[in-house]
Each structure stands twice: as C-alpha cells, then as structure tokens.
Amino acid sequence: MRTAVFASRNTKEILRDPATLIFGLGFPLVLMVLLSAINAAIPKEAGMKLFEISNLAPGLSVFGLSFFSLFSSMLIAKDRTSSFMLRLFTSPMKPHDFILGYTLPMLPMAVAQSAVCYAAAMIYGLPFNAGVIAALFVNLPIAAVFIALGLLFGSVLSEKAVGGICGALLTNLSAWFSNIWFDTSLIGGWFKTLTDVLPFSHAVNAARAAASGSFGDIFPDLWWVIGYAAVLLAAAVIVFNIRIKKS
C-alpha cells in the first residue's frame, strides 16, 4: 500500500514535466526517419540489412529506453534534497519500498514508449504480429536496467551531475555498445568483448528475435538482461539505504 501511494505520487511528478518524456520519445523517432532514409538510398546489392526496419525498430525501441535513466535519476536526486523526502525518511517505508515506488510507474511508460516506436515503424513496413507484442514485454527488463542505473546515480549525485552522467554519457554508451548502428563483431577485440559483457546488445538481440517471431532465440540474451536488472535494482536498494542512514 505504501509503495503504491508513493508510486502514484512519482507518476504525477513525471507527467508534470512532459518535456523530458517528449524528448525521450521524439529523439528515437527522428533517428528512425533519418536512418530509414539512409537505408532507402543504399543499393540492395550492398547487402546492408542493419538499417532495415525489421532490425532498426527493435534497436531504437531499446535505445529510447535509455532516457529513463535520466528520468529516474533526476527524480530521486531532486527528492533527496527536498523536505518531502526528509519527511518520508521518518515513515515506515523501507529502502525497497522507495526503489519500487520509483520503478513501478516507469515500467508502463516504457511499454507505451516502445509501442509508439513500433507503431511508427509500421509506417515503414514493419508488419504487426505477435512478435511485436512480445517485443514490448521483452523490453521490460532493459527498461528496469536503465531505471536502476538512474536510481543508483541519483542516490549519490546531485541533480545537475546526473544530467550529464545519465543524459549524455549513459545514453551514448548504450548506443555504442548495443549493435544498433553497426555490427560489433566486425570490430572484434576488447570492444566486442565489452559489448558481450554489457546488457545493451543482449537487449537488442532479444528484442529483434521477439519482433521477428523467432521466440526460441530470445534466450539466453534476455536472461543476461534480467540478471543485470536484478543486480542493479538490488544495488540501488543498498545504496539508497546507505544514503538514508547518512541523512
């Protein structure tokens, strides 16, 4: 009950400033338009399939979720310095109640954002089928990863600092190591190794498998992402608990 009330409050806080949500949604859609135009100009003889809408849409749906790290980090960082949070620290709420209260309202928003991305992709020829529906739910673990990262950074950094870390650095890292813009196997070496360790390319691979209807190929990539989500959410609870004790 306490978590549900806190989650409801956080939903209102997020929707109170729709500019960030609009940017988080609009930027991937702009990229879809630009990259689809580039793909149309590439001769078929080149065999370039990375920017075909069947590959591009799942990748951009995952990339769009990276902005949720910015939303969550700014929300918790702002709350940490307010009298509202100080009052909550005296309530019976536990650290996991706080983290769940920040996370839960963002998950349906993440599904809605992915749905808009796939709907836009249908304009470019992506067929609507069960795979698209499955891809929306496959995106939930990577959304949890980005939200947890935001909560981690927001628990220790100021509101101004998290804007640079989660708004610029993290989104760029997730883009470079995600297999969206280029095939990382062509680079190889430490770059490919790091790509395989991080969850971003696994999330894109799982989303592409789901969207194409290749449900048997969703795992083990999705297990990798789920593992990251579980560890990062647990870390967010621990770090937030430490911050409470220091307050």
**pTM confidence score:** 0.91
Mind listing the pLDDT tens digit of every residue in the chain (247 residues)?
A: 677 878 888 888 877 777 666 776 777 888 888 888 877 777 776 666 777 888 889 999 999 999 899 888 888 888 877 766 666 666 677 888 889 989 998 999 899 899 999 999 999 899 999 999 999 999 999 999 999 999 999 888 887 888 778 877 888 888 888 888 877 777 878 888 999 999 999 999 999 999 999 999 999 999 999 999 999 999 999 998 887 776 6
- Whether 123 and 30 have beta carbons less than 8 Å apart is answered as no
Identify the domain containing residue 21 by its residue range: 2-246
- What is the CB-side half-sphere exposure of residue 224 using CA atoms within 13 A? 18
Q: How many CB atoms are closer than 10 A to CB 132?
A: 23
Q: How many domains does the chain have?
A: 1
- C-alpha–C-alpha distance, residues 22 and 33, integer Å: 16
- Whether 154 and 77 have beta carbons less than 8 Å apart is answered as yes
